[in-house]
């Protein structure tokens, strides 16, 4: 059993693209759910629509890279408005239903045969990431140290992506200590009280939905560029719930909660997978109990178990405040 491989792979994954786009998606969800109390169960819809905006912009419309990015962001804003206008006046549950449905609608429309010429149907899109890598100032070779060694393209993506995470986190820190953020947090507690104090609650919920959706869009760009392809079936509801898991793991309504949560969640996934594979290869786990084809399933079971234990022993997440959570019980 090669512990070196296990730890190398685990450490490498902590800052790789998977953790990066999950972090961006979770940062957006933190604005929606953590600060404003909006139940957005369709965050992946923002990832998908932005990724397709980029992909379709470059490959079908023939737009330059930045124009395609702008198209993706604009589509994410449009999606937020479309979701918000009919539902934000209603009770929170309506947004939950509409978001989960719309994210599936986006995926199913994109993979439909009728859209094959535009979105590539079920086989998706490729050949749109070149514009991003053309901007890469790094020369060919490998960069990084220790377990974190990446080729020039991956390193460029991670550099840009994590910079966005840092800038986004600073922005959220600034916003949430301002009067604007105070209104969002107050809406989470009781929107009628906020209304009675003369604040336009629907307007603020809309701003929150758009801002969180834009972080989802950034996650969508990273996801698409890292794979150099857009596969519609990668944008299923599972990704939304992974982002929720990462957010709750790190602690909701904490600036760094979703970032740390994503890194730990992905690290745990990769660690368990590598450990199980190594243990099977070294015959520590005999074939009669499980084989290497079952690693994915067992890994999911173990992560689920870990999350249950977390909810029991540390329900506030890593950065959360237990005193704050206890207020709910009153």
End-to-end CA distance of the chain: 51
CB of 86 or CB of 296, closer to other proteins: 86
DSSP codes joined into one string, 77-120: HHHHHHHHHHHTTS-HHHHHHHHHHHHHHHHHHHTSGGGHHHH-
Q: Indicate which single residue of 62, 117, 288, 330 sits in contact with other proteins (rule: CB under 8 A).
A: 330
CB of 201 or CB of 270, closer to other proteins: 201
3-state secondary structure of 34: helix
190 scored as a contact of other proteins (CB under 8 A): yes
Q: Binding string to other proteins for residues 210 to 249, with x set by CB under 8 A, is what?
A: -x--------------------------------------
185 scored as a contact of other proteins (CB under 8 A): yes
85 scored as a contact of other proteins (CB under 8 A): no
CB of 194 or CB of 295, closer to other proteins: 194
188 scored as a contact of other proteins (CB under 8 A): yes
3-state secondary structure of 289: coil
- Tell me the closest approach of the beta carbon of residue 187 to other proteins, in angstroms: 9
DSSP structural state of residue 40: -
- Tell me the closest approach of the beta carbon of residue 166 to other proteins, in angstroms: 16
180 scored as a contact of other proteins (CB under 8 A): yes
- Tell me the closest approach of the beta carbon of residue 171 to other proteins, in angstroms: 7
116 scored as a contact of other proteins (CB under 8 A): no
183 scored as a contact of other proteins (CB under 8 A): yes
**CA gap 308, 292 in Å, rounded:** 25
Q: Would you state the torsion angle of the CA atoms of residues 267, 269, 272, 278, taken in this order, to the nearest 10 degrees?
A: -90
- Tell me the closest approach of the beta carbon of residue 250 to other proteins, in angstroms: 17
- Tell me the closest approach of the beta carbon of residue 303 to other proteins, in angstroms: 29
Neighbours of 274 (CB within 10 A): 21
200 scored as a contact of other proteins (CB under 8 A): yes
- Tell me the closest approach of the beta carbon of residue 172 to other proteins, in angstroms: 10
- Tell me the closest approach of the beta carbon of residue 196 to other proteins, in angstroms: 5
The CA distances from residue 68 to 61, 260, 265, 294, 325, in Å, are 9, 30, 31, 40, 42
CB of 215 or CB of 223, closer to other proteins: 215
Nearest CA-CA partner of 154 in 221, 226, 223, 219:
226
CB of 197 or CB of 282, closer to other proteins: 197
CB of 57 or CB of 320, closer to other proteins: 320
**CA gap 249, 244 in Å, rounded:** 8
Half-sphere exposure of 239 (CA within 13 A, CB side): 26
**CA gap 189, 36 in Å, rounded:** 8
- Tell me the closest approach of the beta carbon of residue 316 to other proteins, in angstroms: 12
Count, residues near other proteins per rule CB under 8 A: 31
Please work out, in degrees rounded to the nearest 5, the angle formed at the alpha carbon of residue 202 by the alpha carbons of 89 and 84: 65
List of residues contacting other proteins (CB under 8 A): 171, 174-175, 178-183, 185-186, 188-190, 192-201, 207, 211, 323-324, 327-328, 330
């Amino acid at each position: 059993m090669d512990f070196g491989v296990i730890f190398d792979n685990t450490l490498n994954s902590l800052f790789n693209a998977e953790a990066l786009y999950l972090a961006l998606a979770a940062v957006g969800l933190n604005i929606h759910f953590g600060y404003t109390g909006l139940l957005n169960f369709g965050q992946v819809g923002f990832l998908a629509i932005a990724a397709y905006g980029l992909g379709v912009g470059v490959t079908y419309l023939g737009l330059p890279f930045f124009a395609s990015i702008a198209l993706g962001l604009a589509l994410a804003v449009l999606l937020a408005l479309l979701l918000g206008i009919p539902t934000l006046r209603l009770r929170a549950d309506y947004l939950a239903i509409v978001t989960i449905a719309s994210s599936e609608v986006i995926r199913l429309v994109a993979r439909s045969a009728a859209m094959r010429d535009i979105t590539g149907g079920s086989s998706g899109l490729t050949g749109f990431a070149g514009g991003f890598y053309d901007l890469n100032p790094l020369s060919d070779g490998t960069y990084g140290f220790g377990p974190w060694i990446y080729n020039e393209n991956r390193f460029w993506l991670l550099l840009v992506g994590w910079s966005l995470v840092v800038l986004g986190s600073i922005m959220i820190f600034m916003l949430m200590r301002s009067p604007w953020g105070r209104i969002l947090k107050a809406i989470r507690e009781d929107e009628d009280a906020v209304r009675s104090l003369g604040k336009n609650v629907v307007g603020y919920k809309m701003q929150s939905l758009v801002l969180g959706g834009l972080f989802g869009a950034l996650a969508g760009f990273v996801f698409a560029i890292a794979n150099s392809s857009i596969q519609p079936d990668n944008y299923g509801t599972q990704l939304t719930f992974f982002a929720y898991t990462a957010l709750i793991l790190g602690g909701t309504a904490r600036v760094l909660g979703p970032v740390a949560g994503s890194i730990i969640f992905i690290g745990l996934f990769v660690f368990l997978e590598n450990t199980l594979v190594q243990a099977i290869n070294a015959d520590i786990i005999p074939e009669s109990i499980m084989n290497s084809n079952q690693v994915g399933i067992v890994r999911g079971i173990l992560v689920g178990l870990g999350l249950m234990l977390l909810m029991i022993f540390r329900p506030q997440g890593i950065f959360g405040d237990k005193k704050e959570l206890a207020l709910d019980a009153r």
